[in-house]
């Protein structure tokens, strides 16, 4: 490789890093919209909570079981559940718009949504029947 080729490769790597680093850190998402957690229990809307406020715990008790959610650090996680498999707890702390926590046995569904709709571009454009 010649000296000019190395210079061009360096510039291209710098541009790629300038684009990739903010995307990986989630800064573009925070600037695009406020984040909320939509909580659904047994198919019914239970609660909507902002993820930019103070830390809090949400205790959910239904005829199907008990779940406990923790809001912290701009995200939400399920830290306690009386379901048999505990997969909902293993889903961990979710922080990005479009991420979900699901507890099937207790019928609890949590999804992070943006204040201005789904800004990640992962949603459907149209449904044709």
Range of the domain at 3: 1-32
Q: Do 41 and 89 lie in a common domain?
A: yes
Q: What is the value of pTM for the model shown?
A: 0.65
For residue 89, what pLDDT is reported?
96
User: Sign of the C-alpha dihedral, residues 76, 114, 21, 122?
Assistant: positive
Q: Do 51 and 96 lie in a common domain?
A: yes
Residue 118 pLDDT greater than 90, yes or no: no
pLDDT digits (tens, 9 = 90+) for 63-114: 999 999 999 998 999 999 999 999 999 999 999 999 999 999 999 999 999 8
Domain count, the chain: 2
């Amino acid at each position: 490789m010649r000296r000019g080729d190395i210079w061009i490769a360096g510039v291209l790597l710098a541009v790629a890093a300038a684009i990739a680093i903010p995307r990986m850190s989630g800064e573009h998402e925070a600037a695009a919209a406020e984040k909320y957690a939509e909580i659904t229990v047994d198919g019914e809307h239970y609660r909507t909570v902002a993820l930019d406020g103070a830390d809090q715990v949400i205790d959910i008790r239904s005829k199907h079981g008990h779940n406990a959610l923790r809001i912290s650090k701009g995200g939400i996680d399920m830290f306690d559940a009386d379901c048999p498999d505990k997969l909902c707890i293993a889903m961990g702390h979710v922080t990005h718009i479009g991420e979900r926590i699901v507890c099937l046995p207790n019928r609890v569904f949590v999804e992070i949504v943006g204040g201005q709709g789904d800004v990640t571009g992962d949603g459907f454009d149209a449904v044709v029947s």
